[in-house]
Structure 1
Amino acid sequence: LVVFIIGKKSNKISTFQQKNLDALNRITRENITGVRVIRAFRQDDHENDRFEEVNQEYANLSKRLFRLISKTEPLFFFILHIMVLLVFWVASNMIDMGTLQVGSLVAFLEYQFHALFALMLFSLVFIMYPRAAVSAKRIEEFLYKETIIDNPEEGVVDVGKIQTIAFENVTFNYPDGEANVLTDITFTANKGETIAFIGSTGSGKSTLINLMVRFYDVTRGSVKINGVDVRDFDLYALRDYFGFIPQKANLFTGTISSNIRYGKKDALFEEVVESAQVSAAKEFIESKPHQYDEYLEEGGSNLSGGQKQRMSIARALVRKPEVYIFDDSFSALDYKTDATIRSNLKNYTDDSIVFVVAQRISSIMDADKIIVLNEGQMVGVGTHESLMQECEIYREIASSQFNEKEMAKYG
Structure 2
Amino acid sequence: MIKLLKHLSSYKWMIVGIFVLIFIQSMSTLYLPTLMSDIIDKGVVVGDIPYIWKIGGFMLVVSALGAVASIIASYYSSKAAVGLGRDVRRKLFYHIEKFSLQEFDEVGTASLITRTTNDITQVQQVVIMLLRMIISAPIMLVGGVIMAVLMDAKLSLVIILTMPVLVGSILLILYKGIPLFQTVQKKLDQLNLVLRENLTGIRVIRAFNREPEEKERLKRTNHELTDVSIKVNKIMAFMMPVMMLVMNMTVVAVIWFGGIRIDNGGMQIGDLMAFIQYVMQIMFALVMASMMFVMVPRADVSAKRINKVLEMTPSFKDNGTKRADVQEGTLEFDSVTFHYPGAEEPALSDVSFTAHPGETTAIIGGTGSGKTTLINLIPRFYEIASGTIRVNGVDIREASQEEIRSKLGLVPQKATLFTGTIAENIRFGKEEANDEEVAEAARIAQAEEFVSRMDGGFQAEIEQGGSNLSGGQKQRLSIARALVRKPDIYLFDDSFSALDYKTDARLRSSLKKETGEATVLIVAQRVSTVVDADRIIVLEKGRVAGIGTHQELLDSNEVYQEIVASQLSEEESA
The normalised TM-score by structure 1 is 0.92
Q: Which moved more, 1:10-19 or 1:103-112?
A: 103-112
- Determine if the alignment matches structure 1 residue 398 to structure 2 residue 564: yes
Q: Distance in 2 between matches of 1:220 and 1:67?
A: 59
Report the aligned-residue RMSD: 2.2
Compared with structure 1, are the counterparts of its residues 151 and 116 closer, same or farther at alpha carbon in structure 2 (3 Å cutoff)? same
Q: Which moved more, 1:395-404 or 1:258-267?
A: 258-267
Q: Distance in 2 between matches of 1:146 and 1:251?
A: 29
Q: Distance in 2 between matches of 1:293 and 1:207?
A: 35
Q: Which amino acid aligns with 2:564?
A: A
- Determine if the alignment matches structure 1 residue 235 to structure 2 residue 235: no
- Asked if 2 retains the 8 angstrom alpha-carbon contact of 1:169 and 1:186, the reply is yes
Q: Which amino acid aligns with 2:282?
A: A
Q: Which moved more, 1:328-337 or 1:187-196?
A: 187-196
Residue aligning to 1:369: 535
1:350-392 Cα offsets, whole Å, 9 max, x none, are: 2222111111111111222211110011110111121112211
Q: Distance in 2 between matches of 1:6 and 1:240?
A: 60
- Asked if 1 retains the 8 angstrom alpha-carbon contact of 2:475 and 2:496, the reply is yes
Offset at residue 89 of structure 1 (A) = 4.4
- Determine if the alignment matches structure 1 residue 181 to structure 2 residue 340: no
Offset at residue 253 of structure 1 (A) = 2.5
- Quick one: which of 150, 158, 172 aligns to 2:338? 172
1:279-337 Cα offsets, whole Å, 9 max, x none, are: 11111211234322222222222222211111111111111112111000011111111
- Asked if 1 retains the 8 angstrom alpha-carbon contact of 2:329 and 2:488, the reply is no
- Quick one: which of 111, 114, 126 aligns to 2:281? 114
1:220-299 to structure 2, matched below 5 A, reads 220-299=386-465
Q: Which amino acid aligns with 2:218?
A: F
Residue aligning to 2:358: 192
After TM superposition, which residue ranges in structure 1, 4 or more long, deviate above 6 angstroms? none
Residue aligning to 2:246: 79
Q: Per residue, is there more strand in 1 or in 2? A: 1
Q: Distance in 1 between matches of 2:300 and 2:407?
A: 44
Offset at residue 99 of structure 1 (A) = 4.1
Offset at residue 402 of structure 1 (A) = 1.0
Q: Secondary structure at the match of 2:428?
A: helix
Q: Secondary structure at the match of 2:363?
A: strand
1:26-73 Cα offsets, whole Å, 9 max, x none, are: 222222232222222211112211211111111112111222222111
Q: Per residue, is there more helix in 1 or in 2? A: 2
- Quick one: which of 171, 178, 195 aligns to 1:28? 195
The normalised TM-score by structure 2 is 0.67
- Size of the aligned set, in residue pairs, is 406
Q: Distance in 1 between matches of 2:487 and 2:175?
A: 58
- Asked if 2 retains the 8 angstrom alpha-carbon contact of 1:370 and 1:384, the reply is yes
- Quick one: which of 170, 174, 186 aligns to 1:7? 174
Q: Distance in 2 between matches of 1:289 and 1:89?
A: 82
Q: Work out the percentage of aligned pairs sharing the same amino acid.
A: 46
Residue aligning to 1:65: 232
Q: Secondary structure at the match of 1:23?
A: helix
Residue aligning to 2:208: 41
Residue aligning to 2:47: none
- Asked if 2 retains the 8 angstrom alpha-carbon contact of 1:191 and 1:353, the reply is yes
Q: Distance in 2 between matches of 1:180 and 1:79?
A: 67
Q: Secondary structure at the match of 2:432?
A: coil
Q: Distance in 1 between matches of 2:296 and 2:471?
A: 48
Q: Secondary structure at the match of 2:427?
A: helix
Q: Secondary structure at the match of 1:263?
A: coil
Provide structure 1 residue ranges, at least 5 long, that are not aligned to the other structure.
none
Residue aligning to 1:54: 221
- Determine if the alignment matches structure 1 residue 156 to structure 2 residue 321: yes
Q: Distance in 1 between matches of 2:486 and 2:175?
A: 60
Q: Secondary structure at the match of 1:231?
A: coil
Compared with structure 1, are the counterparts of its residues 130 and 196 closer, same or farther at alpha carbon in structure 2 (3 Å cutoff)? same
Q: Distance in 2 between matches of 1:200 and 1:162?
A: 31
Q: Which amino acid aligns with 1:20?
A: K
Offset at residue 266 of structure 1 (A) = 2.2
Q: Secondary structure at the match of 2:473?
A: helix
Q: Secondary structure at the match of 2:280?
A: helix
Q: Distance in 2 between matches of 1:238 and 1:182?
A: 21
In terms of Rg, which structure is larger? 2
Residue aligning to 1:321: 487
- Quick one: which of 525, 536, 540 aligns to 1:359? 525
Q: Distance in 2 between matches of 1:4 and 1:237?
A: 59
Compared with structure 1, are the counterparts of its residues 71 and 285 closer, same or farther at alpha carbon in structure 2 (3 Å cutoff)? same
1:143-172 Cα offsets, whole Å, 9 max, x none, are: 3262544333x6317437634222222111
Q: Distance in 1 between matches of 2:522 and 2:422?
A: 25
Q: Distance in 1 between matches of 2:508 and 2:374?
A: 22
- Asked if 1 retains the 8 angstrom alpha-carbon contact of 2:336 and 2:387, the reply is yes
Compared with structure 1, are the counterparts of its residues 14 and 162 closer, same or farther at alpha carbon in structure 2 (3 Å cutoff)? farther
